[in-house]
Chain A
Amino acid sequence: MKCFSRYLPYLFRPPSTILSSTCHTEADIISTVEFNSSGELLATGDKGGRVVVFQREQESKSQSQRRGEYNVYSTFQSHEPEFDYLKSLEIEEKINKIKWLPQQNAAYFLLSTNDKTVKLWKISERDKRPEGYNLKDEDGRIRDPSTITSLRVPVLQPMDLMVEATARRVFSNAHTYHINSISVNSDHQTYISTDDLQVNLWNLEITNRSFNIVDIKPANMEELTEVITSAEFHPQQCHTFAYSSSKGSIRLCDMRQAALCDRHCKYFEEPEDPSTRSFFSEIISSISDVKFSHNGRYLMTRDYLTVKVWDLQMENKPLETYQVHDYLRGKLCSLYENDCIFDKFECVWNGSDSVIMTGSYNNFFRMFDRNTKRDVTLEASRENSKPRAILKPRKVCIGGKRRKDEISVDSLDFSKKILHTTWHPHENIIAVAATNNLYIFQDKVN
């Protein structure tokens, strides 16, 4: 794959881990990563409830060969741990998803969610400060009231740029189960939040009311066979959204038809191949992520072993299927025992929908070129994170004979997983979250 073999890696770490890179706490593990619509900003959320926003440095003319790096722009605590006294449940502060809103004025807005509560954050800049008091002198000493003989109106003076994050809205009390995804509608007015059994529709300006549009909760919970794993709005059609299920199917709903979208208008599912059926079939077919392509024609889904691309016009089988790590098929039993089989990998499109990317184990991540049908495995690691170094493709060997530069399936590290990745909307810049490290790679200039 020509265009992706030449990456210029940069390495970023969340600020709290800079002190010591060897000992990181659970709270530092990155749980979501998302570019905004211009690609100028990149946000990460972590298990400690923090959001870190990176901003791309402006291109300077003197260093025209080097494109802007991403530097920390703002860090704030989005969610705190809570306790639900009615249900005796702890509510983790972990940020499950971040979604940027379309830019509406000079400030930036994003939605962040943990298991229960979605928050709307405003990130704004301030570069002026009012100066001059009536009751205090320049040194801050209180003036004697009798000496006040004239009034002073404060004057705004320039100051060092300050970036502030303020919580503008809190959308709570609408989910009984854990929120797995949020998605902003193209009407710029509404968004959906999705938990295991329900999809709720919110107006971005109204926090005390949401509309339940999908509810798959059976009257008797013992009859529960399927949960919702992810949902997303169509990028252009404000009335269409898709949600994926633990049974490997995707439903497309049209909000024009009815206020409740319990009935889908399209149902995408691939018939199961009886020859490969096993105890693990149902677990590995569960969809962990669903994404519309930028042009709105395709849906991409990720299950445990594959990424599939579906044409919205074809419901009975996927258009394309890519094997992410087929070499794990023989190891499902041990992956079940160490719970890895339940890992939720996400998947992303590049800006032109021609390449897709998703994560794997051992800090490997995979890219598939849909046109050339070539694929590559890359590794996010410190060793090859020297600036301007080029990422070497990695290979996993299955058989006994291991060639140089290859790694055997048995020596893969399953604790190093890449679940969350994001792709710059217009350029070949990717951000890859590997536990507590964020790697940003970009293709080589020239």
Chain B
Amino acid sequence: EEKRAGPASTLYCADGDDSLYPIAVLIDELRNEDVQLRLNSIKKLSTIALALGVERTRTELLPFLTDTIYDEDEVLLALAEQLGNFTMLVGGPEYVHCLLPPLESLATVEETVVRDKAVESLRKISQEHSPVDLEVHFEPLVKRLASGDWFTSRTSACGLFSVCYPRVSSTVKAEIRQHFRTLCSDDTPMVRRAAASKLGEFAKVLELDYVKSDIISLFTALASDEQDSVRLLAVEACVSIATLLPQEDLETLVMPTLRQAAEDKSWRVRYMVADKFSELQKAVGPEITKNDLVPAFQNLLKDCEAEVRAAAANKVKGKRLNIMLPFIRLIQYTNQHVKSALASVIMGLSTILGKDNTIEHLLPLFLAQLKDECPEVRLNIISNLDCVNEVIGIRQLSQSLLPAIVELAEDAKWRVRLAIIEYMPLLAGQLGVEFFDEKLNTLCMAWLIDHVYAIREAATCNLMKLVEKFGAEWAQNTIVPKVLGMANDPNYLHRMTTLFCINALSEACGQEITTKQMLPVVLKMSNDQVANVRFNVAKSLQKIGPVLDNNALQTEVKPVLEKLASDQDMDVKYFAQEAISVLPLA
């Protein structure tokens, strides 16, 4: 029974029959009712195989695993992964083909992640096949999958062509190309999508002549498939295909299809073009970019579908800005979603444009966006201020920034307030302590008495970060008095905020301020009439205890905690006792 306790973690040790026990447990647990135990056993499959030896692994374990495809996804996923590293355990490359049957059955399950993992492992072990074994064992498997009845097996086949193609004879090569062609025009869109997504990868291993003859026609066909879910994947393939072709062929072989995709009836296809724009641009080279892609891109920025415009706006960075700027200006008159996408990248442009251009072209935009009616747009600008700060300095913006911040700080939606609080430390750092004290300090204090708890909590955390930034002395002069003042507030929630602030600030403020200024306030609050305040006093004492010296702990903290430990309220007692047991009071 003792041995049973951690069977799986016990390492196999070859001497003595007794050491078989842990392996026996692992094997039995391959079909335990508990999925965690099965998973555990599968993850230790190499241990089992090692104990069985290569012969029994091949003749007994693998046949059993081949039929184990009924299991939960996570078990199958683990199995598919394990089998990719199993070559040595079945006897080395000579026997690697024994791993094909279980992986083949895993490549037909309905769960995409499992299938993909099985394909990944198959690709891995294909490299360990000798050229002969590849043709005798591996390639027939690919063919079986490619002509399978169910589309799950045909989709899996798509990912295997590119690994066997380079290593087989030219007759087999011709067959593989034929199989790929067939799958590209499969009846089910699932298979056509799988073929389209592997088109680029397959093109890379093909001879250039076949790329021009076979791949281009497949690419053209997939790019004009009746289903837009297939067409959009062809756009992806376009990137790899364009990289393979010599510049002079691009115009005739790729560009007509790409142009058509950029003007596709379906917004999802155009979205894909916008989204892959940077990659496409790189693949087709500067000349075609200038003549073809830039005008297409400009159209995408003006697209009637907001999702497309947003994707294009996200790619503005790194474009020729003199061409883009008019369009960026245009965007400010479009919908919220796009503006907000643009706001999140526009700040990044300043580093590319340099100081003068930023001031001339971008500053007006920043300022306009800071006044945008949509809080998300304003937030996106503020959250990226650091980029601008590096180039032109934040002073240029501060006059416009302030009203925007104040407005967001008082926004009716608490999530907006929460977002701006999170940027406070960043803003404070860039605007400097003077500006902060003058304009923003009041805001930070106001948040402490917000009616939403999440805001009060964030405000507390914000104070801590500010103290870390500006130092203890600043805290002592500006923040601590205000915080401690709230201890006398008639609202018990505000009194508790004092305690939460002390919890957050004590460490940053150091021993002296904590002992001399904060501790007396906390101790005084132990007489509060509200039990919630009293048990938070106990919690606070536990929290700030490590900052205090032993004398203060023994003479001041201990008596108060002992008093609280006999409080009539159950929760107060509990937290007081907890604090006593945690702090070194004895």
**Which residues of chain B in 216-243 are interfacial with respect to chain A, using CB atoms and an 8 Å cutoff?**
226-229
Chain B residues within 8 Å of A154, by CB = 27, 30-31, 64
Contact B307 A259 (CB under 8 A): yes
CB proximity of A330 to chain B, nearest CB, Å: 49
Stretch of A122-130, A215-223, A225-233 lying at the B interface: A122-130
Contact B28 A135 (CB under 8 A): yes
**Which residues of chain A in 104-154 are interfacial with respect to chain B, using CB atoms and an 8 Å cutoff?**
104-107, 109, 122, 124, 126, 128, 130, 133-136, 145-146, 148-154
CB proximity of B311 to chain A, nearest CB, Å: 11
Q: Does A314 reach chain B (CB closer than 8 Å)?
A: no
Could you mark each residue 358-384 of chain A with 1 if its beta carbon is under 8 Å from any beta carbon of chain B, else 0?
000000000000000000000000000
Chain A residues within 8 Å of B229, by CB = 187, 189, 238
Chain A residues within 8 Å of B52, by CB = 151, 153
Contact A152 B27 (CB under 8 A): yes
In the assembled complex, the Cα of A124 lies from the Cα of B110 at a distance in Å of: 11
Q: Does A1 reach chain B (CB closer than 8 Å)?
A: no
CB proximity of B444 to chain A, nearest CB, Å: 34
The answer to whether residues A102 and B188 also contact, given A256-B268, A259-B305, A259-B307 and a CB cut-off of 8 A, is yes
The answer to whether residues A153 and B27 also contact, given A102-B188, A205-B112 and a CB cut-off of 8 A, is yes
Q: Does B582 reach chain A (CB closer than 8 Å)?
A: no
Q: Does B108 reach chain A (CB closer than 8 Å)?
A: yes
Chain A residues within 8 Å of B56, by CB = 151, 153
A interface residues, tally (CB under 8 Å): 43
In the assembled complex, the Cα of A424 lies from the Cα of B304 at a distance in Å of: 43
Contact B20 A150 (CB under 8 A): yes
Contact A146 B27 (CB under 8 A): no
Contact A148 B17 (CB under 8 A): yes
CB proximity of B155 to chain A, nearest CB, Å: 9
Contact B307 A134 (CB under 8 A): no
CB proximity of A161 to chain B, nearest CB, Å: 13
Interface centre among A128, A134, A150, A151 (most CB of B within 10 A): A151
**Which residues of chain A in 156-179 are interfacial with respect to chain B, using CB atoms and an 8 Å cutoff?**
156, 164, 168
CB proximity of A208 to chain B, nearest CB, Å: 15
Q: Does A16 reach chain B (CB closer than 8 Å)?
A: no
Contact B24 A135 (CB under 8 A): yes
CB proximity of A214 to chain B, nearest CB, Å: 16
Contact A105 B152 (CB under 8 A): yes
Q: Does B513 reach chain A (CB closer than 8 Å)?
A: no
Chain A residues within 8 Å of B25, by CB = 134-135
Residue from B28, B228, B267 in contact with A238 in the complex, judged by beta carbons closer than 8 Å = B228
Q: Does A354 reach chain B (CB closer than 8 Å)?
A: no
In the assembled complex, the Cα of A187 lies from the Cα of B193 at a distance in Å of: 10
Contact B31 A130 (CB under 8 A): yes
In the assembled complex, the Cα of A245 lies from the Cα of B304 at a distance in Å of: 27
Q: Does B547 reach chain A (CB closer than 8 Å)?
A: no
Chain B residues within 8 Å of A135, by CB = 24-25, 28
Residue from A104, A136, A239, A255 in contact with B152 in the complex, judged by beta carbons closer than 8 Å = A104
Q: Does A237 reach chain B (CB closer than 8 Å)?
A: yes
Chain A residues within 8 Å of B60, by CB = 153, 155
Chain A residues within 8 Å of B70, by CB = 124, 126, 164
Chain A residue nearest in CB terms to B56 = A153
Residue from A104, A134, A256 in contact with B190 in the complex, judged by beta carbons closer than 8 Å = A104
The answer to whether residues A239 and B27 also contact, given A148-B17, A205-B112 and a CB cut-off of 8 A, is no
Contact A134 B24 (CB under 8 A): yes
The answer to whether residues A256 and B265 also contact, given A103-B150, A153-B52, A153-B56 and a CB cut-off of 8 A, is yes
Could you mark each residue 289-309 of chain A with 1 if its beta carbon is under 8 Å from any beta carbon of chain B, else 0?
000000000000000000000
Contact B110 A105 (CB under 8 A): yes
In the assembled complex, the Cα of A149 lies from the Cα of B150 at a distance in Å of: 44
The answer to whether residues A133 and B28 also contact, given A146-B18, A150-B20 and a CB cut-off of 8 A, is yes
Contact A134 B27 (CB under 8 A): yes
Contact A256 B266 (CB under 8 A): yes
**Which residues of chain B in 185-231 are interfacial with respect to chain A, using CB atoms and an 8 Å cutoff?**
188-190, 193, 226-229
Could you mark each residue 10-30 of chain A with 1 if its beta carbon is under 8 Å from any beta carbon of chain B, else 0?
000000000000000000000
The answer to whether residues A238 and B64 also contact, given A105-B152, A257-B267 and a CB cut-off of 8 A, is no
Chain B residues within 8 Å of A152, by CB = 24, 27
Residue from B28, B226, B228 in contact with A134 in the complex, judged by beta carbons closer than 8 Å = B28
Chain A residues within 8 Å of B31, by CB = 130, 154
Q: Does B8 reach chain A (CB closer than 8 Å)?
A: no
Q: Does A86 reach chain B (CB closer than 8 Å)?
A: no
Q: Does A258 reach chain B (CB closer than 8 Å)?
A: yes
Q: Does A188 reach chain B (CB closer than 8 Å)?
A: yes
Contact A148 B28 (CB under 8 A): no
In the assembled complex, the Cα of A134 lies from the Cα of B61 at a distance in Å of: 14
Contact B24 A256 (CB under 8 A): no
Q: Does B435 reach chain A (CB closer than 8 Å)?
A: no
Contact B20 A149 (CB under 8 A): yes
Contact A106 B64 (CB under 8 A): no
CB proximity of B72 to chain A, nearest CB, Å: 9
Chain B residues within 8 Å of A408, by CB = none
Contact A156 B67 (CB under 8 A): yes
Q: Does B3 reach chain A (CB closer than 8 Å)?
A: yes
Contact B21 A145 (CB under 8 A): yes
Contact A107 B20 (CB under 8 A): no
Q: Does A186 reach chain B (CB closer than 8 Å)?
A: yes
**Which residues of chain A in 172-213 are interfacial with respect to chain B, using CB atoms and an 8 Å cutoff?**
186-189, 205
Chain A residues within 8 Å of B152, by CB = 104-105
In the assembled complex, the Cα of A259 lies from the Cα of B266 at a distance in Å of: 10
Residue from A102, A146, A149, A259 in contact with B306 in the complex, judged by beta carbons closer than 8 Å = A259
Q: Does B331 reach chain A (CB closer than 8 Å)?
A: no
CB proximity of A55 to chain B, nearest CB, Å: 18
In the assembled complex, the Cα of A38 lies from the Cα of B52 at a distance in Å of: 46
In the assembled complex, the Cα of A194 lies from the Cα of B109 at a distance in Å of: 30
In the assembled complex, the Cα of A443 lies from the Cα of B117 at a distance in Å of: 48
Residue from B51, B67, B110, B265 in contact with A151 in the complex, judged by beta carbons closer than 8 Å = B51
Chain A residue nearest in CB terms to B190 = A188
In the assembled complex, the Cα of A237 lies from the Cα of B30 at a distance in Å of: 46
In the assembled complex, the Cα of A130 lies from the Cα of B63 at a distance in Å of: 11
Residue from B67, B190, B228, B304 in contact with A239 in the complex, judged by beta carbons closer than 8 Å = B228
**Which residues of chain A in 230-280 are interfacial with respect to chain B, using CB atoms and an 8 Å cutoff?**
236-239, 255-259
CB proximity of B3 to chain A, nearest CB, Å: 7
Chain B residue nearest in CB terms to A135 = B28
Residue from B64, B189, B226 in contact with A188 in the complex, judged by beta carbons closer than 8 Å = B189
Could you mark each residue 372-395 of chain B with 1 if its beta carbon is under 8 Å from any beta carbon of chain A, else 0?
000000000000000000000000
CB proximity of B7 to chain A, nearest CB, Å: 10
Contact B67 A128 (CB under 8 A): yes
Chain B residues within 8 Å of A148, by CB = 17, 20-21, 24
Chain B residue nearest in CB terms to A256 = B266
Contact A188 B188 (CB under 8 A): yes
Chain A residue nearest in CB terms to B115 = A105
In the assembled complex, the Cα of A239 lies from the Cα of B27 at a distance in Å of: 50
Contact A104 B150 (CB under 8 A): yes
CB proximity of B304 to chain A, nearest CB, Å: 7
Chain B residue nearest in CB terms to A166 = B72
Chain B residues within 8 Å of A149, by CB = 17, 20
In the assembled complex, the Cα of A102 lies from the Cα of B191 at a distance in Å of: 13
Q: Does B103 reach chain A (CB closer than 8 Å)?
A: no
Q: Does B23 reach chain A (CB closer than 8 Å)?
A: yes
Contact B110 A104 (CB under 8 A): yes
Interface residues of A (CB under 8 A from B): 102-107, 109, 122, 124, 126, 128, 130, 133-136, 145-146, 148-156, 164, 168, 186-189, 205, 236-239, 255-259
- Beyond the given A151-B51, A239-B266, could you list 16 further A-B residue pairs with CB under 8 A, ordered by the A residue number? A104-B110, A105-B109, A128-B67, A130-B31, A135-B24, A148-B24, A150-B20, A151-B20, A151-B27, A154-B31, A154-B64, A156-B67, A188-B188, A236-B226, A238-B227, A259-B307
Cβ contacts A to B, 16 pairs, < 8 Å: A105-B153, A145-B3, A145-B18, A146-B18, A148-B17, A148-B24, A149-B20, A150-B20, A153-B52, A153-B60, A153-B64, A155-B64, A186-B227, A188-B190, A255-B266, A257-B267
The 8 A-B residue pairs whose C-beta atoms are closest, nearest first, are: A134-B24, A256-B266, A153-B60, A105-B150, A105-B152, A187-B229, A188-B190, A259-B307
